[in-house]
Chains A and B, each alone.
Chain A
């Protein structure tokens, strides 16, 4: 009995494939999908390459500055070059500030090309110096705001937005077309159950779509980006494939359920588009609104006011240093390294101290922003249960390493590094210790610590599992409904 229904299923599959190829629906839809996947991937690769290049450029910058500083230091110590207060690397305040040339960078995750996510908006490097956090942490990548508003045409867009539409194109009239055409009566007069018919039809369509959507990007990425060939990356690719399969299955299950109601093709198409609009367009924008209302970000205006107050206070606090006599222009000899000491001009010392004080004062407020963002993210995680589109989008971004979480981690690590940078220089500036060549080569180094893989993979797999469960629930309901109602044929 089992083998009989299996052979029926395979017959249906072969038959459907032939029909879909003959009437050119399948080749057309597959071509459209292949084009879009290709274009989306191209855009993703271009963005990832751009970011790679930026990180490389920043690293080069850093090395050049390092080399220039070492060179200047040597010639200064040898008394060869003129002394300029702001660009003498022996002066710790100068090296902590304008001469620093230090960067905190976040490298692309290996699969970055698969989704652009937040990476077009969040900076992937910060310039580290003794400046206050408010002065450098809010720099953003340069991008036309119009383009940010439109969004990118990346692979994640193709999957989250377009793939369900192609599923709809292939699946809105699974049964209704056969009924309207009259062939359903013929089919149902044979020993064939409607669930088998429905399953067969879905299997063909799904295989065709997935045969393009999954291998195409993975092969291209594997070929072009060698860093994707690790075990960990292959596991991520596996979860990526599972996620897309689950999402596609979900939409096919919805199409099956809609078809099982026995309405006309036009009605089915309307219902499918209504569902797509709800899940993919309306729910996410409404959720965005809800998140903003339930867990609003603290006021940036308030931050600006607090910053001003803090700056004013610290200016006042170090007033005497700021207004000290300044004889270095006329007496450059005063800036010579004497033994292990160097005179740090009091105004420079004042800058350093004042910025440090500003940060101390606004730190609690900045923490509130970070906390709020994390809280919002947690809310999004919960609300994403309402819309498969949000669920999948979040998971795709996590796989590509372009989600907010990774950028928040980057910001946190940068802040820590910024503090470390200051702490390194603080005693030297206060004690007027001159920087030596050895110091120059042992300055605090930036290391990006990747988010633990276990954390990422957990966040991906629970979403995939949920998506699959959802797909099976809807699909089960569709099959149960279609087997109960033979009236479908009438």
Chain B
């Protein structure tokens, strides 16, 4: 569903991504691990067409991202580390706006409330201004947007950083639920524990290269940690 084919991204003299290929199939949760600056976020930005690759290509559902940005974005939902919304609007209004942008029609209020509930936002918060929300609550509106969009692919950038453990767990459960529905999920993270827990496949990036790809069921926690540290040190 999410395909990167021999992608290289050059920023001036710096090579941020070096011949990276990966694909994420429907129903998979692919966790990208790596130090800061390894190129994880660059890859996410490339899938969003916020950046264009120097060479190689990216596809979502076999559609080229650069050539058909609007079509691919229709298939895609994105939840950044900080879900930023319009502070003067309520959670519900934000969801209404973004979902109509995404699917081109306005969803009725009961459906919007349903989506927010499915994302785990308390019912009574739906009509409060987003400016009063915590980070976790904003994240949930982000998930509700993704749900409303009925996306085939989900892109997540450090989604659990800064969330308290219970919120992070809740979030992971939602991811698993989505992947069970056949969504392809690509998430970047620092959190080895959660990656092992929720991911079906893991990739480790270093200096712009994908240095290791493995199935999460093939490794134990301890092995993963050792492997990760080995790559980080060398």
Contacts and interface: CB of A to CB of B under 8 A. Distances in A.
Contacts of B84: 181-183, 185-186
Interface stretch (B85-93, B108-116, B160-168, B212-220): B85-93
A22 B101 CA distance: 20
A174 to B, nearest CB: 15
Given A487-B50, A490-B50, A189 B76 contact: yes
Interface string B75-103: 01110101111101100010001101110
Contact of A189 (B51, B73, B82): B73
Contacts of B88: 19, 22-23
A188 B48 contact: yes
Given A192-B73, A486-B50, 5 more contacts: A19-B88, A186-B83, A189-B73, A190-B101, A490-B51
Interface stretch (A3-11, A425-433, A461-469): A3-11
B231 interface: no
| 6 shortest interchain CB distances as A-B pairs | A182-B84, A189-B78, A22-B88, A191-B73, A191-B70, A190-B101
Band of interface residues on A: 20 to 34
Contacts of A188: 48, 50
Interface string A465-490: 00000000000000000000011011
B162 to A, nearest CB: 14
Interface in A89-128: none
Nearest to B101: A190
Nearest to A5: B70
A18 B85 CA distance: 14
A182 B51 contact: no
B49 interface: yes
14 contacts: A4-B104, A7-B104, A8-B101, A8-B104, A19-B89, A22-B89, A182-B80, A183-B84, A185-B78, A185-B80, A186-B142, A189-B76, A190-B101, A486-B51
A19 B100 CA distance: 16
A182 B50 CA distance: 13
B48 A191 contact: no
A11 B106 CA distance: 9
Interface string B142-181: 1000000000000100000000000000000000000000
B175 to A, nearest CB: 17
Interface in A181-231: 181-183, 185-193
Nearest to A185: B80
Band of interface residues on B: 20 to 34
Given A187-B101, A190-B98, A191-B73, A486 B52 contact: yes
B74 interface: yes
A11 B97 contact: yes
Mostly helix, strand, loop or mixed at chain A's interface? helix
Contacts, number: 71
Mostly helix, strand, loop or mixed at chain B's interface? mixed
Contacts of A191: 70-71, 73-74, 101-102
B69 interface: yes
A316 interface: no
B59 interface: no
Nearest to A180: B84
A15 interface: yes
A487 B51 contact: yes
Contacts of A7: 104
A11 B51 contact: no
A347 B86 CA distance: 88
B198 interface: no
B45 A183 contact: no
A18 B89 contact: yes
B100 A489 contact: no
A11 B101 contact: yes
Given A8-B101, A486-B50, A190 B83 contact: no
A18 B100 CA distance: 15
Contact of A489 (B50, B70, B98): B50
A192 B93 CA distance: 18
Nearest to A489: B50
A354 B79 CA distance: 93
A7 B203 CA distance: 40
B101 A490 contact: no
Kindly name the residue among B48, B70, B80, B89 whose own CB sees the greatest number of chain A CB atoms within 10 A. Answer: B70
Interface in B54-78: 69-71, 73-74, 76-78
